């Protein structure tokens, strides 16, 4: 049995595991996160894939923090594997902890495998996340993608690795989500085949198409494809952080100025940034999450889909 609480942040679901997760042993949080991916793939799939989960769901597994002053440590994962950081899930986690009475309004530290983040829990389901340092790695990278033609974009880090491009093949709306998904997958495959990576050979596993907003109070709109092949319903906290790093590098957004990022479904984050000590930026993301369900997941030995419905089936 496994006790979970589900929330959504701007439409993107988070499943927080309260009880019943695997023992990841000792070591650093990054080492324990690697152990989750290497040794517990069935656990991740069983929790997030159908029939217990649903497309785009991200899991959050509590672990004891290394710093006793931290609220908690957490490993984020989707059906494809671990995520370094996850903005929407951090907002969802903070609102879930508030709902449970485990976190009061105010400022807290949450440890992630890529570094600690600061969260401020506000009333009314709102959370402000100070993300990990973010930066642009490469600018105006040109790709020739079969079926799409010339694509130009930037590679940036926002807690995960992103390829960000304005060269979307269709408008950024739900009517075209299938075409956008296929195009993003093609870009991702081309990056991999071409050996294009982030620092230290890191895989670029998120693709972000950028465009003009539809809302009058927003500054940009995005379609983000995540490593599990599902599109992000939220504006993507780490993707928005990567976007801010590019804007800052180009001199298009000064520190402290608000940027409202709109998702493909119309939900939004309010963002700004501070300058880091090494020239990177420190993104600050404000969003809203809502708890949707409390559940106990059951995994009967005779259930043929105990570990989820796999694509290869």
Tens-place pLDDT, residues 167-194: 999 999 999 999 999 999 999 999 999 9
Per the prediction, the chain carries an average pLDDT of 96
What whole-number percentage of the chain has pLDDT above 70? Answer: 99
One of 44, 86, 226, 246 is an active-site residue; which one?
86
Catalytic residue among 44, 226, 236, 246: 236
Q: Residue 81: is its pLDDT beyond 90?
A: no
Phi-psi region of 160 (alpha: psi -120 to 50; beta: other; left: phi over 0): beta
Whether 313 has a pLDDT exceeding 50, the answer reads: no
Q: Do domains 2-130+292-297 and 135-275 have the same CATH topology?
A: yes
The predicted-structure confidence for 105-139, as pLDDT tens digits, reads as follows 999 999 999 999 999 999 889 999 999 999 999 99
Question: What's the distance, CA 61 to chain centroid?
Answer: 14
Q: How confident is the model at residue 80 (pLDDT cuts 50, 70, 90)?
A: confident
Does the annotation count 44 as an active-site position?
Answer: no
The values of phi and psi at residue 63, to 5°, are -140, 155
Over residues 252-288, the pLDDT tens digits come to 999 999 999 999 999 999 999 999 988 899 999 999 9
Residue 226 falls in the annotated catalytic set: no
CATH number of 135-275, picked from 1.10.3720.10, 3.10.310.10, 3.30.360.10, 3.40.50.970 = 3.10.310.10
Q: Give domain limits for the chain.
A: 2-130+292-297, 135-275
Looking at residue 301, its pLDDT comes to: 94
Residues 238-245, mean pLDDT to the nearest whole number:
98
| Per-residue burial over 166-179, b = 16 or more CB atoms within 10 Å of its CB, e = otherwise | ebbbeebeeebbee
Q: How confident is the model at residue 312 (pLDDT cuts 50, 70, 90)?
A: low
Q: Domain 2-130+292-297 carries which CATH code?
A: 3.10.310.10
**Residue 291 DSSP class:** E
Alpha-carbon Rg for the chain, nearest whole angstrom, is 19
Buried-exposed string 264-293: b where 16+ CB fall within 10 A, e elsewhere: bbbbbbbbbbeeeeeebbbbbbbbbbebee
């Amino acid at each position: 049995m496994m006790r979970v609480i589900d929330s959504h942040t701007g439409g993107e679901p988070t499943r927080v595991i309260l009880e019943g997760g695997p023992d990841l042993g000792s070591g650093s949080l990054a080492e324990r996160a690697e152990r989750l991916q290497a040794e517990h793939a069935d656990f991740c799939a069983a929790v997030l894939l159908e029939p217990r989960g649903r497309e785009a769901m991200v899991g959050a597994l509590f672990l004891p923090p290394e710093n006793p002053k931290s609220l908690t440590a957490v490993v984020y994962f989707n059906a494809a594997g671990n995520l370094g950081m996850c903005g929407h899930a951090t907002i969802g986690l903070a609102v879930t902890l508030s709902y449970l009475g485990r976190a009061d309004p105010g400022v807290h530290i949450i440890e992630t495998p890529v570094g600690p983040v600061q969260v401020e829990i506000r009333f009314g389901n709102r959370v402000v996340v100070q993300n990990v340092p973010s930066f642009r790695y490469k600018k105006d990278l040109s790709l020739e993608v079969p079926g799409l033609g010339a694509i130009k974009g930037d590679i940036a880090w926002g807690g995960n690795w992103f390829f960000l491009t304005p060269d979307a093949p269709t408008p950024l709306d739900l009517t075209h989500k299938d075409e956008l998904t296929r195009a993003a997958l093609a870009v991702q495959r081309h990056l991999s085949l071409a050996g294009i990576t982030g620092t230290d050979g890191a895989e670029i596993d998120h693709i972000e198409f950028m465009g003009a907003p539809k809302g009058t109070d927003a500054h940009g709109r995005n379609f983000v494809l995540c490593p599990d092949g599902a599109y992000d319903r939220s504006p993507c906290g780490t993707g928005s952080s990567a976007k801010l790093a590019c804007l800052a590098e180009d001199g298009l957004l000064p520190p402290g100025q608000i940027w409202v990022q709109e998702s493909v479904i119309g939900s939004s984050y309010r963002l700004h940034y501070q300058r880091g000590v090494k020239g990177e930026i420190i993104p600050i993301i404000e969003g809203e999450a809502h708890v949707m369900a409390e559940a106990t997941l059951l995994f009967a030995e005779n259930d043929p889909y105990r570990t989820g419905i796999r694509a290869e089936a």
